[in-house]
A and B are shown apart, each in its own frame.
Chain A
Amino acid sequence: MQFLSYLINGLGLGSVYAIIALGYTMVYGIAKMLNFAHGDIIMVGAYIAFFAITKFSLPLPLAVLAAMAVCTVLGVVIERLAYKPLRQAPSLAVLITAIGVSYFLQNGAQLLWSSSSKVFPSVISTGGISLGSATVSYLTLITIVTCIIVMVCLTLFINKTKTGSAMRACSEDKGASMLMGINVNMIISITFAIGSGLAAIASVLLASTYPSVYPTMGSMPGIKAFTAAVFGGIGSIPGAFVGGLLLGIIEIFAKAYISTQLSDAIVFGVLILILMFKPTGLLGKKINVKV
Chain B
Amino acid sequence: MKEKKSILSFGGDKKQRGRFLSFAIVIIAYIAVEILMKTGSLNSLFTSLLVPITCYVVAAIGLNLNVGVSGELNLGQAGFMSVGAFCGVCVSGMLAASIPAGIPRLIIAIICGAILAGLFGFVIGIPVLTLQGDYLAIVTLAFGQIIKSIFMNAYIGMDSEGLHVSFVQSNFKLQPGGKMLLNGPMGATGTQKIANFTVGAVLIIIALLIVYNLMFSRSGRAIMAARDNRIAAESVGIPISKTKMLAFVTSAALAGAAGALYGLNYSTLVPNKFDFNTSILILVYVVLGGLGNMTGTIISTVILILLPELLRSLQDYRMLIYAVVLIVIMLVTNNEWLMTKWKSLFAGKAKGGASNG
Contacts and interface: CB of A to CB of B under 8 A. Distances in A.
Tell whether any CB of A sits under 8 Å from a CB of B in the complex: yes
A101 B323 contact: yes
A281 B153 contact: no
B270 interface: no
Interface string B50-90: 00000000000000000100000100000000000000000
B135 A100 contact: no
Nearest to B2: A90
Interface in A212-245: 223, 226-227, 230, 234
B30 interface: no
B143 A268 contact: yes
A276 to B, nearest CB: 5
Interface string B109-132: 000000000000000000100111
B283 A107 contact: no
Nearest to A263: B149
Nearest to B133: A287
A124 interface: no
Contacts of B94: none
Contacts of B133: 287
B320 A279 contact: no
B135 A93 contact: no
B285 to A, nearest CB: 10
Nearest to A233: B135
B330 A97 contact: yes
Given A97-B327, A103-B322, A289-B231, A34 B134 contact: yes
Contacts of B280: 99
Contact of B331 (A82, A104, A280): A82
Nearest to A231: B138
Given A96-B283, A101-B327, A268-B145, A85 B138 contact: no
Interface string B130-151: 1111110111011101100110
Contact of B149 (A99, A104, A262): A262
Contacts of A86: 330-331, 334
The 5 closest A-B pairs by CB, nearest first: A268-B142, A265-B149, A103-B323, A104-B323, A100-B326
23 contacts: A85-B334, A86-B330, A86-B331, A89-B334, A90-B3, A92-B67, A96-B326, A100-B324, A107-B320, A107-B323, A111-B320, A234-B134, A265-B145, A265-B150, A268-B142, A271-B139, A272-B139, A275-B135, A275-B139, A279-B132, A279-B135, A280-B135, A287-B132
Interface of B: 1, 3, 67, 73, 127, 130-135, 137-139, 141-143, 145-146, 149-150, 152-153, 229-232, 235, 276, 280, 283-284, 287-288, 291, 316-317, 319-320, 322-324, 326-327, 330-331, 333-335
